[in-house]
Structure 1
């Protein structure tokens, strides 16, 4: 469930933030904010589905997933292909997220 929650949260967060970007930076209607707010609320709810003892740890691990999803958005929605530095940085972040989420913990 955790990978799906992270992927859903990332898509919801990016879509919600992009709604504000579209309004404020691209000159779209302020009405873009309405679905953006719904999307951001969905993002917050999705993070509560992550199997973690601590919210901060769940959020920290989510960061790596968010970075990868953002680069996917860059390519799929904005039409800019990530370069090798983007991909390398994303891999490093995902490894770090895995260590945070799945590392052994003292009982």
Structure 2
């Protein structure tokens, strides 16, 4: 399970950096040279998601979506130097609960039904 989260967070890092490179070029008017590492980063992001140990892509992407939200807020804090507000924190807690429900429930660790 720890390995899965490492993969998810690495994928999120690559996706966020890849998308941020486009943000820098098209929103902040930085050099188009930023697009090359952005493309490479997005390819690595997609590749990493194929390494997740879930049977269906949609479920892997659902869990990843939650990890992406949390990772984006960490990016907001670490790279963009913005503090979390209460809604960021509350939302992250709710999202993390959703991640655990999907992951643990589908790995047969929780038997509810």
| TM-score category (smaller protein) | over 0.9
Q: Name the structure 2 match of 1:61.
A: 63
Matched, 1:49 2:51: yes
CA RMSD of aligned residues (A): 1.3
TM-score with structure 2 length normalisation? 0.89
TM-score with structure 1 length normalisation? 0.94
Q: Name the structure 1 match of 2:24.
A: 22
Matched, 1:4 2:19: no
Question: CA–CA distance in 2 between the matches of 1:29 and 1:10?
Answer: 24
Task: Show structure 1 runs of 4+ deviating over 2 A.
Answer: none
Secondary structure of the corresponding residue to residue 103 of structure 1: helix
Shift of 1:88: 0.7
Residue segments in structure 2 that go unaligned for 5+ positions in a row: none
Q: Name the structure 2 match of 1:102.
A: 104
Question: CA–CA distance in 2 between the matches of 1:10 and 1:29?
Answer: 24
Residue segments in structure 1 that go unaligned for 5+ positions in a row: none
Q: Name the structure 2 match of 1:73.
A: 75
Larger mean CA deviation between 67-76 and 95-104 belongs to 95-104
Question: CA–CA distance in 2 between the matches of 1:13 and 1:40?
Answer: 5
Question: CA–CA distance in 1 between the matches of 2:12 and 2:77?
Answer: 15
Work out which structure has the larger RCO, using CA pairs closer than 8 Å and 6 or more positions apart in sequence: 1
Deviation per CA, 1:39-90: give whole Å up to 9, x if none.
Answer: 0000001111111000100000111111111000001100111111101101
